[in-house]
Structure 1
Amino acid sequence: MAFDYGTKRIGIAVTDPLQLIATALTTIHPNAVITYLTDYFSKENVSTFVVGMPKRLDGTDSQSAMHVKGFIRLLKKHFPQIPIQTIDERFTSKMASASIAQSGLKKHKRQDKGLVDSVSAVIILQDYMRTKVF
């Protein structure tokens, strides 16, 4: 399960049991994420959390990284049994926007920031799955 964390919305993506395909799950307000995840885990298994870590071009943490680190602490507190991996999320929002623009969706749907966040989470999960050694 991957997260594109934002202070207004969190994009969430998941993969199939064979870890072949990443799909957007939802976009949720940060205040509702623990309740949502608790309910989700009552129906589905998750082996790893993958959290996008915002970086600057020089590879150092961006200003918003402190919010992401707080989110990671929250995940560890509520779900200590699930390991957490971070992955560089530079340019995922731009890649998500470009992917959405090429999809042929109508303009008002392409401008949906929630859609951008969930597609960004898919990109984060795809990047993680690509680099994971089985």
Structure 2
Amino acid sequence: MTEQRGFGARRRGQGELETQVLATLRAAPGPVVAGWVQERLGGGLAYTTVVTILTRLHAKGAVARERSGRSFQWTAVADEAGLAALRMRRVLDSETDREAVLASFVNTLSPGDERLLRALLETAEAPEEGD
């Protein structure tokens, strides 16, 4: 079965599909097969598209899979924030000048987001009691 789009139908981006698949997995009662995810997503999404997205999420470390007969059962191991962090990390890892990339990123933050990032970094650097 292939995905049919009506005239003027909006195409979902890869990141949006990944987020939807991950959210569907997080709502699952336990490990599920790709067909279960496909049914819950609806919208005529092709089974092969769902499997491709699950495989990409697995490569990113956002989902785990376990062999079940000839297919896999899938489980979410990251949430949407974790998936966004994995994407950001992949972009950072692909650049040679990490300092320039991080500096540019920080320079584009709003003052509120910069304060939040500083507070998060201070919390991460603070030694735990008893150290």
- TM-score normalised by the chain length of structure 1: 0.28
- TM-score normalised by the chain length of structure 2: 0.29
Looking at secondary structure, tell me which structure has more strand per residue.
1
Q: Which structure has the larger Rg over C-alpha atoms?
A: 2
Q: Taking CA–CA contacts closer than 8 Å with sequence separation of 6 or more, which of the two structures ends up with the larger relative contact order?
A: 1
